[in-house]
Structure 1
Amino acid sequence: MVRWLACLALTFVAVLQANAIFPVTLVDRVDNFIYDMRMRVQPTRLNNDIVIVNIDEKSLKEYGQWPWKRNTLASLLERLTDDYHVRAVGVDAVFPEPDGSSGLDVLEDLAKKELKDDQHFLNQMGGLRTQLNFDDRLAKTLNGRPIVLGFALSNELDDLSKGLLPNPAFTDAELGGRHLESALYTKYTSNLPVLQRAAIAGGFFNPSPDSDGVIRRIPLLAKFGTGYYESLSLATARVALNASKVKPVFLQSDGVNSQSYLNEYGSIEAIKLNSSPNLTVPLEPLLTALIQYKSKGGPRGGGFVYVSAADVLKKNLPENKLANKIILIGTTSAGLKDLRTAPVGLDFPGVEMHANVIASILDGDFKQRPDTSRAFEVMQIILLGLLLTFALTRFKALAAIFFTSLTYIAVISFNYWMYQSFNLVLPLASALLLISALFVFNLAWGYLVESRKLRGVVRRFGEYVAPELVAVMAEEPDSYTMEGEIRELTVMFSDVRGFTTISESMSAADLREYINIYLTAMSEEIRGNRGTLDKYIGDCVMAFWGAPVRLDDHARLAVASALKMQTIAQGLSEDFVKRGWPELKIGVGLNTGEVRVGDMGSKIRLAYTVMGDAVNLSSRLEGITKAYGVGIVVGEATKTAAPEFAYRELDRVRVKGKTRPISIFEPIANITSIDDAQSALLELWHQALDDFRAQQWDAAEKSFLSYLEVRAEDLAAQEFLERITHYRQNPLPADWDGVATFVSKFSE
């Protein structure tokens, strides 16, 4: 009886999950995995209607870094429309700032200042304005041509809206009081008004990744203000089809599909383009559409024809190669960072996602989750639960295996038949997981499952964390899994300074002992302070605090470990020098932020690790320690989260790969251990930094020199003195923000 009740309880839980009353992340992950596998196994189909003009390495080499000068882009668009006679062009890029590459702004400045009395120069400026205004040149190219510009929507609090939005597809006023559930944005980055007004249309290119970061769907419409705006793929397809309007299609009250624009329900099922003939595009929740990936992506993916933008500009292609095609201008270059995670690959070109959606619109080939999918899922779970409960509680092991296998085959076959024959994406994971759960439960029946789960937690996490943390986890094994999740952690990178030189000066045996002693000492400190060892990367140690066991004070623990590691390294260095080995110096970077933590890797090997922007920044901070001659650099988030320590603000910098400046700090010691002399020295430093940012060069120089009287070898102070000398000789622009950019020495 207990066994029956347990099986029925599992079925009941599955029903709750299907109704979203008790959501289980694993079910969504398995459904996503199944969807991804369908995309991967379907044969590649070449689409001859869409061509991607690739800003590839060849184009970048010949025409410079992207974005190109606007006159170069204008020439590319003219080639496509006037010489190759394409149907439509979608530009997977946004141009919110004026083009300053022509030098026109310099000439305008001269006309207002140094040459304002030079009549000959002023007479020439009229012609030069026309010739060098590349934005007007591009606007003239856009005018009257079937070219769609991209733009981006955002909800970032720090973002400021830029540019001019295109006209919306429709507004709230046109919905007769209905409310559509859609992605809602509050900011945008669009094109210059002169460009957007000239373009026939515009479309946003925001990705819509699932919780695992994979992009399986794309919004066709999104809301800003009172308007609903088209995606780049929808706008490009509409222009190619000569359609002028997009209208929502709602469900009728009797449940029959309707092309009526208005009815008593607000449930939207599709959008309609007034093309010839009219074209209806089915929609998913939040006005999205499932992407049908036609290939593995890229020029060799086989789904779309790729041509180099350089070949188009030089007109090296035969006219029939592009004639009457739909063109998407984008890039597959890794350096331009338009590669996304798709079901068919980790580095999938973002521009090809738009191409796949356009292809589905033209072909009418959309997979769709029906509105009745939840009801179907519930009925399927109830039938399977009752059937398997009745059968598996009676069958012996061999018969149970055979019956369960037949059930798997039947459920999977029916689901695949509906997918192939009717383009319906029906839920499958909940059924498969219920079958598996009932089968395992009936075979294990009790203690075996629990004991194996406990041993698994101890075995897997024991590789990463201290034994005392494993003991905590073993008390509640259900609370700790290797599944990925977003969590705020503090991440550390620690590296040996000059390791290449050290390795060249030592024998293989001595080097092995040298690095083993160092890694052991650092690892013991990290684990002893509740940190999780991630990996060793040569002489680099990567670790993090706050997972798998949640730690509210993860930043404090990380900073304390970093300071202790410096002390340990100094002691090791003294011992190494006595042995005749090179001295040991380490640099440590710490950053706090939200990351994805969990099992990651390949089917061959997985590792419990962290990924995300905060991890990359931590690595960058470790590298910055060399530039300032300090042992530890932490980000502002770490400083804020660990106020127990005294810090020296080193600078405000833009690290490689980032545009937004950040403040970086050197932790000195716990506040309780700072004496008056150290406090005064910190106050002197921060006063010098304030004077420097206020461009009070004399005062800043005096303070930095006073600081060097106490700390004669301080590289950071020496660096600022060099900058002061440089800035005195090279006046700064009016908008100088005092931020150092790590590209060249004086590039701020």
Structure 2
Amino acid sequence: MLNSNKWLKIYRLIACLLITGLYAAHSSGHFIIPTLSRMENIFYDMRLRATMPNTVDSRIVIVAVDEQSLAVEGRWPWSRNKIAYLMDMLFDYYNVKLVGFDMVFAEEDKSSGLELVEKLADKELKDDANFQMAVEKLKAKLSFDQVFANSLSNRKTVLGFFNSHIEEKYNEIGLLPRPLADATTIPFAQALIEPKSYTGNLPLLQQAAYAGGFFNNPKVDIDGVYRRLPLIVQYHNKIYESLSFAMFRALFDLPKPEFSTNQYGKSDNRLEGIRVEGFTIPVDAEGAMLVPFRGNINSFPYISAADVLNGKAELDQLKDKIVLFGVTAPGLFDSRATPVGNLYNGVEVHANILSGLLDERIKAKPNNAVSSEILTALILGLLAILVFPRVAILTSAIVFLLMLAILVFINGYYWHDKNSDLALAAPLSEFSLLYGVHLFFGFFLENRRKKQLGNIFGQYIPPELVAQMSQSDEEFSIQGESREMTVFFSDVRGFTTISETLAPHDLCELINAIFTPVTKIIHESQGTIDKYIGDAIMAFWGAPIHNNNHATLAVGASLNIIKLLSLLQQEFSAKNWPVIDMGIGLNTGTMSVGNMGSEFRMAYTVMGDAVNLGSRLEGLTKQYSVKIIVSESTKNAAPDFIYRELDRVRVKGKKKPITIYEPIATVDETSEDQRQTVAEVAEALSFYRSQQWGKACDIFEDLQSRYPDDDFYALYLERIDEYRIAPPGENWDGVYTHTSK
């Protein structure tokens, strides 16, 4: 009947497995999900902005060709002798440590007019000795490139050059700086970024400078944002360094670095770090590092180049500083989209890298990031498959939110304390999707199961039990089946007399006042109402949900019902209703349960000898002057209670005798006096069955004197008197046969 729900569970499992496999493939790099990559970038930017120092690093100063410089010194580019004078001011007057150029000087500077003077000296004035002498004296001053080269020489200056990564006609301009290493001896070199051509500085200038490095960045992410910058590239089997890395090495006169490679694979072909003087700079396989942005734009002091040229800058602003020389004037500077701003000066990107290198503040993916992210994807998938289908909606929501918090906490810990960039969007979105799948099937598809169960069982069992059934993996059916259960019969004593004294309206109100709280107790103990029969209630435990504690629940519910009656008496007395009493019979055994009846009317009920015995036991409660009678099978199945043995009886319609008991209370709630009484009754019954009438009579008389309101003892005293007159015989088994229901 409900087999369709099995298919729903299979579909849910397949959906979860597909999601898990998809995310594992994305983490391994075999199947990239572009949207997920964009989400990772967004989360990366959020974490970066949230944890940036947001302080100004005064160790690095950007000397900028800004609007003021253009207004004072004229349009850009300036003549090389002016830049040479700028170098002299920086090194000789301001005593800076190092100057790096975020620009390239690829063409000769002919602005001095030296070319025209030399042309005159070669032609029209070649015979003028005085002119020739003057030209020789002017060459040193008018050769601006040489003047600039002289200002670079013997100083820590690092020139920048430009790599071209566009497929176009091969072109090389200028001279490259000294390479960092020979790529033919490095196994990982083939994975490095390889430019198509370059634009370098004039050989005269590059040879005069201390070092050189590339300043352009080909590592732009799919959203157009610069988050990484390569520290090294390969060109024509040579390794070249970036401008910021070259400045870092020049600042401390560091030797050529060593390279850390992957130790986890079959071969050491994957670059993972660049070691310099005990500090390993983490990079990816392409030699790129995450830019350690210090803060928003202007995280470094800016000084106008015009103020330096004219000596207006304060000495302490530049003394012992690292200088980056770049162009920031509108229309000239190279702006970049970065995680901390869409219009970010390119020269400040290099300043951030240099600052991060100085502080050893570089974030990177750990060596085992891929394997750990794959493992995380699999664990999340397994967790969702095992947990979500087995818990309630509220619990699953708590698990979901708690797991998201744990993932964020772990990621934040590795980011902040380990400088590790672990994937965050992937696990969060994966677990959210898995939870969404669970909700979809739980709310929209498995809701059918709840409706089916509600339609079938809702009239017999409480809504809470229907909800529990809908969450269970057990299949429920109204088809007949045989199982061990506990049946309950109750009856309001003297109902016929009561009905004769009350008006129909009051009688209906009285029955409702009894049945409503009794039914509530049965429902709360997971019982199923079978039917109301006039003033009687029939119920059972153990179906439709299998429950191994059905006997314990039934006995506990019966005791609670008896406690309820004393409370109802007070309400009934206030309404001038008669005093009510109730008898309850319980039996545990194998019964047939299912939808039974006719084609005109069906009912979910129980049948069998065990059911009939339960009804007989309820009928005996009045004869034994007790509220509840349970069979020996119920007593054995519910050992958490103390029972008073009542008798061995043979009920009407049954040949096999049974022992019947009265439940007193739970083991923990039973008093010492009650335990003593139960033991004395058992002893008296032992004498009774062995026909030792005197000993049995003494005990029962003592009990009756102590408990005069308990008519149970009078029953046995009356029997003993009868047996003394007419003994039952030597073969008597101690069983009392009841001939009525």
> If the length of structure 2 is used for normalisation, what is the TM-score?
0.56
Aligned sequence identity (%): 36
SS in 1 for 2:275: strand
Equivalent position of 1:224 in the other structure: 235
Does residue 265 of structure 1 match 2:268?
Answer: yes
From the superposition, tell whether residues 163 and 123 of structure 1 become closer, same or farther in structure 2 (CA, over 3 Å): same
Match for 1:236 among 239, 244, 247?
Answer: 247
Q: How many residues align?
A: 433
Match for 2:103 among 70, 85, 93?
Answer: 93
SS in 1 for 2:223: coil
Asked whether the equivalents of residues 51 and 304 of structure 1 are also in contact (C-alpha less than 8 Å), the reply is yes
CA offset digits 1:309-328 (Å, max 9, x no partner): 11111112232221111111
Does residue 160 of structure 1 match 2:171?
Answer: yes
Does residue 183 of structure 1 match 2:193?
Answer: yes
Q: Shift of residue 101 of structure 1?
A: 1.6
SS in 1 for 2:179: coil
Does residue 82 of structure 1 match 2:85?
Answer: no
SS in 1 for 2:429: helix
Does residue 110 of structure 1 match 2:94?
Answer: no
Equivalent position of 1:212 in the other structure: 223
Q: Which moved more, 1:240-249 or 1:109-118?
A: 109-118
Q: Shift of residue 423 of structure 1?
A: 0.8
Q: Shift of residue 111 of structure 1?
A: 3.2
Match for 2:36 among 5, 16, 27?
Answer: 27
CA distance, structure 2, for counterparts of residue 60 and residue 234 of structure 1 = 30
CA distance, structure 2, for counterparts of residue 444 and residue 332 of structure 1 = 54
Equivalent position of 1:170 in the other structure: 181
From the superposition, tell whether residues 331 and 448 of structure 1 become closer, same or farther in structure 2 (CA, over 3 Å): farther
Does residue 11 of structure 1 match 2:20?
Answer: yes
- Letter in structure 1 aligned against 2:268: Y
CA distance, structure 1, for counterparts of residue 75 and residue 163 of structure 2 = 24
Match for 2:379 among 379, 383, 395?
Answer: 383
Equivalent position of 1:350 in the other structure: 346
CA offset digits 1:514-560 (Å, max 9, x no partner): xxxxxxxxxxxxxxxxxxxxxxxxxxxxxxxxxxxxxxxxxxxxxxx
CA distance, structure 2, for counterparts of residue 395 and residue 103 of structure 1 = 87
Q: Shift of residue 84 of structure 1?
A: 1.4
Q: What are the equivalent positions in structure 2 for 1:296-695 lying under 5 Å apart?
A: 296-298=296-298, 303-395=299-391, 397-445=393-441
- Letter in structure 2 aligned against 1:97: E
From the superposition, tell whether residues 249 and 391 of structure 1 become closer, same or farther in structure 2 (CA, over 3 Å): closer
Equivalent position of 2:292 in the other structure: 292
Q: Shift of residue 447 of structure 1?
A: 13
Q: Shift of residue 150 of structure 1?
A: 0.2
SS in 2 for 1:22: coil
CA distance, structure 1, for counterparts of residue 269 and residue 20 of structure 2 = 33
CA distance, structure 2, for counterparts of residue 377 and residue 223 of structure 1 = 30
Q: Shift of residue 142 of structure 1?
A: 0.5
Match for 1:194 among 176, 192, 204?
Answer: 204
- Letter in structure 2 aligned against 1:268: L
Q: Return 5+ residue gaps in structure 1 as ranges.
A: 256-263, 450-748
Asked whether the equivalents of residues 332 and 349 of structure 1 are also in contact (C-alpha less than 8 Å), the reply is yes
- Letter in structure 1 aligned against 2:272: E
From the superposition, tell whether residues 178 and 25 of structure 1 become closer, same or farther in structure 2 (CA, over 3 Å): closer
Asked whether the equivalents of residues 183 and 234 of structure 2 are also in contact (C-alpha less than 8 Å), the reply is no
SS in 1 for 2:175: coil
Equivalent position of 2:75 in the other structure: 65
SS in 1 for 2:206: helix
From the superposition, tell whether residues 231 and 179 of structure 1 become closer, same or farther in structure 2 (CA, over 3 Å): closer
Q: Shift of residue 126 of structure 1?
A: 1.4
Asked whether the equivalents of residues 61 and 323 of structure 2 are also in contact (C-alpha less than 8 Å), the reply is yes
Q: What are the equivalent positions in structure 2 for 1:132-171 lying under 5 Å apart?
A: 132-156=142-166, 157-158=168-169, 160-171=171-182
Q: Shift of residue 398 of structure 1?
A: 4.5
Equivalent position of 1:729 in the other structure: none
SS in 1 for 2:328: coil
CA distance, structure 1, for counterparts of residue 116 and residue 394 of structure 2 = 84
SS in 2 for 1:102: coil
Q: Shift of residue 254 of structure 1?
A: 9.8
Asked whether the equivalents of residues 90 and 329 of structure 1 are also in contact (C-alpha less than 8 Å), the reply is yes
CA distance, structure 2, for counterparts of residue 168 and residue 353 of structure 1 = 23
Larger Rg: 2
Q: Shift of residue 395 of structure 1?
A: 4.8
Q: Return 5+ residue gaps in structure 2 as ranges.
A: 1-9, 446-741
Q: Shift of residue 406 of structure 1?
A: 1.7
Asked whether the equivalents of residues 297 and 345 of structure 2 are also in contact (C-alpha less than 8 Å), the reply is yes
Q: Shift of residue 71 of structure 1?
A: 0.8
Asked whether the equivalents of residues 249 and 255 of structure 2 are also in contact (C-alpha less than 8 Å), the reply is yes
Asked whether the equivalents of residues 3 and 393 of structure 1 are also in contact (C-alpha less than 8 Å), the reply is no
From the superposition, tell whether residues 434 and 2 of structure 1 become closer, same or farther in structure 2 (CA, over 3 Å): same
CA distance, structure 2, for counterparts of residue 111 and residue 62 of structure 1 = 34
CA offset digits 1:289-325 (Å, max 9, x no partner): 1111001113xxxx21221111111112232221111
Asked whether the equivalents of residues 290 and 364 of structure 2 are also in contact (C-alpha less than 8 Å), the reply is yes
Asked whether the equivalents of residues 92 and 149 of structure 1 are also in contact (C-alpha less than 8 Å), the reply is yes
Asked whether the equivalents of residues 333 and 345 of structure 2 are also in contact (C-alpha less than 8 Å), the reply is no
Match for 1:37 among 19, 33, 46?
Answer: 46
CA distance, structure 2, for counterparts of residue 390 and residue 265 of structure 1 = 39
Asked whether the equivalents of residues 271 and 286 of structure 2 are also in contact (C-alpha less than 8 Å), the reply is no
Equivalent position of 2:695 in the other structure: none
> If the length of structure 1 is used for normalisation, what is the TM-score?
0.55
SS in 1 for 2:105: coil
Q: Which moved more, 1:242-251 or 1:334-343?
A: 242-251
CA offset digits 1:616-672 (Å, max 9, x no partner): xxxxxxxxxxxxxxxxxxxxxxxxxxxxxxxxxxxxxxxxxxxxxxxxxxxxxxxxx
CA distance, structure 1, for counterparts of residue 432 and residue 124 of structure 2 = 81
Following TM superposition, the consecutive aligned residue runs of length 4 or more in structure 1 with deviations greater than 6 angstroms are 446-449
Asked whether the equivalents of residues 186 and 225 of structure 1 are also in contact (C-alpha less than 8 Å), the reply is no
Equivalent position of 1:736 in the other structure: none
Match for 1:248 among 259, 282, 285?
Answer: 259
CA distance, structure 2, for counterparts of residue 227 and residue 179 of structure 1 = 9
From the superposition, tell whether residues 266 and 398 of structure 1 become closer, same or farther in structure 2 (CA, over 3 Å): same
CA offset digits 1:9-38 (Å, max 9, x no partner): 111111111112221011211111111111
